[in-house]
Amino acid sequence: MAAIPIRHASRSLRRTPAFTLTAIVTLVIGIGAVAAIFAVLNGVLLRPLPYGNPDRLVGTWHDLPPLSMTRANQTSALYFTYKNLARTIENIGVYQENAANVSEAGGASEPQRLPAAWITASIIPTLEVAPLLGRNFTDAEDLPSAPSVVILSEGLWRTRFGADRAVIGRALEVNGKARQIVGVMPKSFRFPSASVRLWLPLALDPHSPNPGGFNYAGVARLKPGVTPADAERDFKTVLP
């Protein structure tokens, strides 16, 4: 069994915009013959986070000593394994942060490059944040070839749509593709960083035979009364 020094984990976490947490416990466990390691982070808040019951939120990653990899993120296959089989968590989600070209539907305006995040439909429920307007993505919208939808930040809603409450159902072109606006998140929702202006479905395929790369950062919500040690044991049992 290995452990990551607390001060190293704390410095690394401060460089990660998803959570303003200080690491107090890092638990790692060996997994199977490949000697992969699953790590669960338990954090203490540096300042209140705008999420429901933030003390039960944990970040998830994997350490892979045989590949000289530390803090490897989730694969799509691992995400669905934990989501479907882990018993100690209420929910889990994965995400990627990047940028997108945004313009009026039909190309009526010049594209604007904006920070964006691709998230699973489970992210917003995991964080327990209600949209300011509209709704979250549905599970059906978080699949390949699903209808194209988008959720706006409050800032983008105000600057581009003049805080028009009739924005739900209108179209916005993202990376050259028209998407229907289904929700607006409140200003306090700064996930995974304060710069993000819109969210799109990650649209992972639960039936894909390809396990995928370690491309997705993860966050999970522990069930009430569950400790990181409980989650450690639970995740160990569900992995092949």
pLDDT given at position 152: 98
Give start and end residues of each alpha helix (H) in the chain: 6-14, 76-85, 123-127, 154-161, 228-238
Please check the confidence at residue 211 and state whether its pLDDT lies above 70: yes
198-201 vs 112-119, strand pairing mode: parallel
Please check the confidence at residue 128 and state whether its pLDDT lies above 90: yes
Other Cβ atoms less than 10 A from the Cβ of 5: the count is: 10
CA-nearest of 65, 38, 74, 67 to 214 is 74
Q: In this structure, are residues 172 and 150 in contact, taking their beta carbons and an 8 Å threshold?
A: yes
Lowest mean pLDDT: which of 43-52, 91-100, 143-152, 183-192? 43-52
Residues of the chain with pLDDT > 70, as a percent, come to 75
- The predicted-structure confidence for 22-65, as pLDDT tens digits, reads as follows 222 222 322 322 233 445 544 333 345 788 888 888 888 776 66
Query: How far apart (Å, rounded) are the C-alpha atoms in residues 117 and 99?
Result: 7
> How much is the CA Rg of the chain, to the nearest whole Å?
18
Residues 188/189/194/196 CA torsion (nearest 10 deg): -140
Phi, psi of 169 (to 5 degrees): 100, -15
pLDDT given at position 240: 66
Burial class (CB in 10 A: 0-12, 13-18, 19+), 240: exposed
pTM, two decimal places: 0.79
Please check the confidence at residue 178 and state whether its pLDDT lies above 90: yes
Q: What is the DSSP string of 155-218?
A: HHHHHHHTT-GGGTT-EEEETTEEEEEEEEE-TT---S-TT--EEEE----TT-S----S-BEE
- The predicted-structure confidence for 61-115, as pLDDT tens digits, reads as follows 776 666 555 677 888 998 999 999 999 999 999 999 999 999 987 766 788 999 9
Query: How far apart (Å, rounded) are the C-alpha atoms in residues 217 and 61?
Result: 7
